[in-house]
Amino acid sequence: MRYNNRLALAATRIFGGFPRDALFFLLASFVNSTGKAVMWPLTTLYVHNVMGKSYGEAGLIILYQALFSVIGEFVGGNLYYRVGPKKMISGSFLVSAICLYAIAMTSSWPLYIALVCMVGFVNGIAMPSISAYIGFRWKEHRRRLYNVMYVCNNFGLSIGAMVGGLVASVSFSLTYVLTATTTLSFACFLFFFMKEVTTSADGAEEDSSGKGSQTGPVRLNRMELLGNVRLYLFVSIGSMFFWLSFTQWANGVAPYIEEKGLDLKFYSLLWTVNGLVILLAQPFTSWIKRRFAQDIVHQMLVSAIFTVTAFAFILFFHDEYVYLVIGMILATLGEMMLLPTIPTFLSEKTGRNAPFYMGLAGGFANVGRMIGPLLFGYSYDLWGIDSVFFLGTLASIAALLMFYIHSNLNKEKEPLQKAELPSLQQ
């Protein structure tokens, strides 16, 4: 009974105060992230075992998907107001679900490549739209909501990755069917759940009955928006370097563990540690924010310090497995401090222009995810694990430098409204 009371108290502390519709959105997002995690860790094995291709070709598939995701992020940020978040997000996930069902039923290698690229593209389109919608729809809750969604999605990833291994033991194709089903469910939920909204001058969205919102065609002055480099450029490049450094876990640590003669379950255990830290260290990161980084831009800076510390530590100390665990804990703390803050910053600082800037930032982040595996894969093959950790540490230092410049360029408290978009009645 006491344990149940503690769970109820913890749930109230995390989810208390959110509107009911926001809680439903969190639940649906959790289910969707769980379904996607069933598939994505197994892509390499699917290409090799089911499609009969080499591991090198599997790596190229992941590269293609990331590349099209980059393009999708840019497209999504540009089309947010022209198409509207409801149609864009639910439509993207509907197309993704159809492609995933088709992958499960095809044995054609060219068709498989095309479908995977399409999945990457439409998922990329949806990402900035979801972040912008959350920031506009629940403006007064968005700081906490971005953080709680990050925790829920990562918890879903942990569960999905575990379930994926069990499903794949029965059928690899079944993993795509399961992922497609959860994606389709999410698309249907969003189509019937998301409210038609208009956007007010400060970037807050209202339902279609809201008064005082201007309507009219949207025309993006992209050159003017791109000219506000201090808003997006350095945080975007910092995010790119952050994700580039983070890919060394998959493309350096994984083969290193195998090379040392350890079972690959020890690599999976690192991601279990990642998930547990995300769930259990929320009070610690909240204390860090209150004590040392109350401002959003300084939270990014502190996150980069944790990341540099993590990768510098494993650069010098990686002979024993326990040192990798310590590095993962520190790196996860940096991840927890950073990822919810970027959409929060862009929502608060760029107003109605947030979808455009979120698309830019997401595109840069995916570039880091895309080039990281190639960089670290070749480095490991040519020079071994020390080169991987050295390059990963350099990338994390570059991220720290970018966030430092960003923090110095964005010290003002008031949102910037230099290049506004007219709002659009959907």
pLDDT at position 165:
67
Residues in Cβ contact with 37 at an 8 Å cutoff, skipping those fewer than 6 apart: 156, 157, 158, 159, 160, 161, 163, 164
Q: Sorting pLDDT into bands at 50, 70 and 90, what band is 223?
A: confident
Q: Sorting pLDDT into bands at 50, 70 and 90, what band is 230?
A: confident
- pLDDT of 58 higher than 80: no
* Of the candidates 229, 197, 193, 218, the residue with the CA atom closest to the CA atom of residue 357: 229
Q: What is the C-alpha to C-alpha distance for residues 252 and 344, in angstroms, rounded to an integer?
A: 31
Find the helix or strand (DSSP H, E) in which 207 lies: strand 205-207
- pLDDT of 221 higher than 60: yes
**Structure tokens of 422?**
């007219």
Maximum mean pLDDT: which of 86-95, 174-183, 305-314? 305-314
Residues in Cβ contact with 172 at an 8 Å cutoff, skipping those fewer than 6 apart: 42, 45, 46, 49, 50
pLDDT at position 87:
85
Q: Go through the chain and tell me how many residues it has.
A: 426
Do 222-410 and 17-194 fall under one CATH topology? yes
Which tens digit of pLDDT belongs to each residue from 84-113? 888 888 898 899 999 999 998 988 999 999
Q: What is the C-alpha to C-alpha distance for residues 324 and 330, in angstroms, rounded to an integer?
A: 10
Percentage of the chain modeled with pLDDT above 90: 21
- The residue among 261 and 206 whose pLDDT is bigger is 261
| Cβ atoms within 10 Å of 261's Cβ, excluding its own | 6
Mean pLDDT value of segment 315-344? 91
Q: Sorting pLDDT into bands at 50, 70 and 90, what band is 24?
A: confident
Which tens digit of pLDDT belongs to each residue from 26-41? 887 777 777 777 666 6
* Of the candidates 416, 393, 376, the residue with the CA atom closest to the CA atom of residue 59: 376
Whether 128 contacts 77, CB under 8 Å = yes
Fold for the domain defined by 17-194: Growth Hormone; Chain: A; (1.20.1250)
* Of the candidates 249, 271, 38, 26, the residue with the CA atom closest to the CA atom of residue 153: 26
Amino acid found at 219: R
Q: Sorting pLDDT into bands at 50, 70 and 90, what band is 83?
A: confident
| CA distances for 397 relative to 57, 296, 326, 380, angstroms | 32, 19, 19, 20
DSSP 8-state code for residue 192: H
Q: Sorting pLDDT into bands at 50, 70 and 90, what band is 417?
A: very low
**Structure tokens of 414?**
């008031």
Coil, strand or helix: which one is 16? coil
Maximum mean pLDDT: which of 33-42, 364-373, 387-396? 387-396
Instruction: Tell me the helix, strand and coil percentages in the chain, rounded to 5.
Output: 80, 0, 15
Among 70-74, 158-162, 186-190, which is the least confidently predicted range?
Answer: 158-162
Among 113-117, 185-189, 250-254, 393-397, which is the least confidently predicted range?
Answer: 250-254
Is the domain 222-410 a CATH 1.20.1250.20 member? Answer: yes
Which tens digit of pLDDT belongs to each residue from 265-288? 787 788 788 888 988 888 898 899
- The residue among 365 and 50 whose pLDDT is bigger is 365
Mean pLDDT value of segment 49-55? 78
Mean pLDDT value of segment 388-413? 90
Q: What is the C-alpha to C-alpha distance for residues 144 and 166, in angstroms, rounded to an integer?
A: 34
pLDDT at position 107:
86
pLDDT at position 240:
94
Q: Sorting pLDDT into bands at 50, 70 and 90, what band is 14?
A: low
Maximum mean pLDDT: which of 194-203, 211-220, 339-348? 339-348
- The residue among 419 and 148 whose pLDDT is bigger is 148
The structural domains of the chain, with segments of one domain joined by +, span 17-194, 222-410
Whether 321 contacts 99, CB under 8 Å = no
- pLDDT of 358 higher than 90: no
